[in-house]
């Protein structure tokens, strides 16, 4: 695919249009961290409506779903749990599928207990680094994290400088759903506070990246010294004012 340079072809009017071509069986990365603060929730809700099935979802957390969310924030909220509730996910790769401090009734945990979803549990730093490897064209890395635990199962081990490491492999995706604070029309991105988290990492590792932003600004308006994500990584932008 050829990058389209200084055009505004990346701008989509709605989240529904931006996620329309996510296909059955696709691997998707979803930015954010936990239930809020950086979760591209409008794109997630659009994907839930769109209905693509058999997805592999790569995200830090599996989401608590609307029912359990009421225990965390009055009135409740939507999070990644919605696409599990909808039965759209075949496999989840992440560090917190379900929260141990909550009842075992989140959508992902319910499905897992029924044998309807597969989970690959990855330590959080290893998750970030596997995505960075995938983005940067590397074949993997050796980490001490997980040595002597269930995480090392089936993985190559190596002693480097007298210390034990395990080999972890790269992750990439067909699509990434990302939340940023501002984009210029080229696709340069800046984030707000802790809503940064996994977003700048995942936006570099997918074939098609879809970004929801609080505000879209003209090219030249973002200070080049503070741009976090260079525009080459961004394919689609939807402005969703707060």
Partner 1 sequence: MKDRLDEQTIALRAAREFPHGSVVNLGYGMPGLCANLIPEGRTIFFQSENGILGYGSLATDEEKDYEMINASDQPVTVAPGMCFFDSAASFDMIRGGHIDIVVLGAYQVSEKGDLANWGRPGRPATGMGGGMDLAVGASRVIITMLHTTKKEEPRLVRNCTFPLTAKQCVSLIVTDLAVIEVTKEGFVLKEIAPGWTVPEVQSLTEAKVTTATDLKEIEL
**Binding positions for partner 1, rule: CB under 8 A:** 33-38, 60-62, 72, 94-101, 104, 108-109, 112-113, 119, 121, 123-129, 131-132, 143-151, 191-201, 228
CA dist 85 and 108 (Å) reads 8
CA dist 122 and 159 (Å) reads 21
Evaluate the CA torsion angle 130, 136, 137, 141 in order and state its sign.
negative
Question: Residue 159: beta bridge partners?
Answer: 164
Closest separation in Å from C-beta 102 to partner 1: 9
Closest to partner 1 by CB, 127 or 237: 127
Running DSSP on this structure, what letter comes out for residue 229?
B
Closest to partner 1 by CB, 11 or 102: 102
- CA-atom Rg of the chain in angstroms: 18
Closest to partner 1 by CB, 46 or 122: 122
Question: Residue 91: beta bridge partners?
Answer: 56, 118
Closest to partner 1 by CB, 25 or 125: 125
CA dist 185 and 85 (Å) reads 34
Question: Residue 29: beta bridge partners?
Answer: 58, 176
Residue where the block lists tokens 């809700």? 45
Report CA dihedral (215, 22, 9, 205) to the nearest 10 degrees. 70
Closest separation in Å from C-beta 121 to partner 1: 5
Running DSSP on this structure, what letter comes out for residue 110?
H
Closest separation in Å from C-beta 30 to partner 1: 13
Closest to partner 1 by CB, 107 or 187: 107
Closest to partner 1 by CB, 86 or 124: 124
Residue where the block lists tokens 């989970």? 119
């Amino acid at each position: 695919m050829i990058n389209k340079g200084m055009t505004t072809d990346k701008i989509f009017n709605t989240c529904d249009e931006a996620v329309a071509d996510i296909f059955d069986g696709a691997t998707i990365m979803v930015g954010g961290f936990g239930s809020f603060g950086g979760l591209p929730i409008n794109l997630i809700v659009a994907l839930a409506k769109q209905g693509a099935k058999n997805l592999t979802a790569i995200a830090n957390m599996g989401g608590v779903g609307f029912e359990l969310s009421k225990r965390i924030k009055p009135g409740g909220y939507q999070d990644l749990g919605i696409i599990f509730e909808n039965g759209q996910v075949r496999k989840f790769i992440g560090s917190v599928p379900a929260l141990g401090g909550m009842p075992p009734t989140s959508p992902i945990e319910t499905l897992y207990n029924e044998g309807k979803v597969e989970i690959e549990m990855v330590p959080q730093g290893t998750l970030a680094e596997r995505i960075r490897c995938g983005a940067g064209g590397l074949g993997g890395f050796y980490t001490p994290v997980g040595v002597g635990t269930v995480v090392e199962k089936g993985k190559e081990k190596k002693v480097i400088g007298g210390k034990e490491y395990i080999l972890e492999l790269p992750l990439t995706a067909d699509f990434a759903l990302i939340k940023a604070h501002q984009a210029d029309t080229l696709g340069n991105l800046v984030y707000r506070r802790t809503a940064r988290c996994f977003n700048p990492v995942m936006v570099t590792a997918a074939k098609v990246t879809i970004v929801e932003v609080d505000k879209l600004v003209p090219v030249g308006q973002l200070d080049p010294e503070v741009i976090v994500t260079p525009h080459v990584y961004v394919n689609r932008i939807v402005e969703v004012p707060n």
